[in-house]
Amino acid sequence: MIGFYFNKFSYNSLLAAKLKFLQTFIPFVGLNNKIPHLETEARIVQHIKTKQFELAVTAISKAYHDMLYWHIRKLVKHHDAANDALQNTYMRIFKGLANFKFKSSVKTWCYRIAYNEAIRLLEHQHKLSYSKSNDVVTDYFAHLTADPYFDLDSASHALHESLSKLSEKQQRVFQMKYFDELTFEEIAEITSWNTNSIKTAFYAAKEKVTVHVMQTI
């Protein structure tokens, strides 16, 4: 088994920076530097084209490990479950590199695998009935606050409390758009949801989250 584990919990600092945008009502914008991302993609693509798959997986882990971990973690809620799904994600990435068709970016492809692994784990454990409906998932916040690895300050608490009040689809779209900084088109490719429905879900979620956080902190 490929040994990749998340051991740097930098999420709260990222969240604090994000919340500054909410507090000042500045529109949600990505904070990632796109130039290094493009350079990383180019290196990974070159490894894949030259069939250096172990180097490709190593480069993917170095570039996207934390993002993939937190993408999974926000879906499965628990640290141990997220690590299990992440392990399976890396194995599927490694096995799939030989058949990578370059129809999407490596990053988006990896996100889709991670997303599918998270959903597969949830279905297998029967902890959450995956549905395309808009039913509210009431155990979202309970799972996070019960996890000893997850430490929330008051602002983070308010944000995650607001997320717990969203429908499952709104939660996922908001997290992928706001925290993972994916485009609507990338989210559509990852989830197979319609782009217009994703936009509708995001803007509805954004309004609810902003109102709740501003009233709470």
- What tens digit of pLDDT does each residue of 40-80 get? 899 999 999 999 999 999 999 999 999 999 999 988 888 89
3-state helix, strand, coil in the chain (%, to 5): 70, 0, 30
Average of per-residue pLDDT values in the chain: 77
Comparison of pLDDT for 24 and 18, the residue scoring more: 18
**What are the residue ranges spanned by the domains of the chain?**
64-92+99-216
- 64-92+99-216 topology per CATH: Butyryl-CoA Dehydrogenase, subunit A; domain 3 (1.20.140)
Rg (CA), the chain: 17
What pTM does this model have? 0.70
Share of the chain above pLDDT 90, in %: 47
**Given pLDDT bands bounded at 50, 70 and 90, which one contains residue 176?**
very high
Query: What is the Cα–Cα distance from 53 to 121, expressed in whole angstroms?
Result: 26
**Given pLDDT bands bounded at 50, 70 and 90, which one contains residue 165?**
confident
Contact 106, 43 (CB under 8 A): no
Q: pLDDT digits over 77-118, tens only?
A: 888 999 999 999 999 999 999 999 999 999 999 999 999 999
The answer for residues whose C-beta is within 8 angstroms of residue 200's C-beta and 6 or more apart is none
Q: pLDDT digits over 182-196, tens only?
A: 999 999 999 999 999
Q: What does the pLDDT read at residue 9?
A: 44
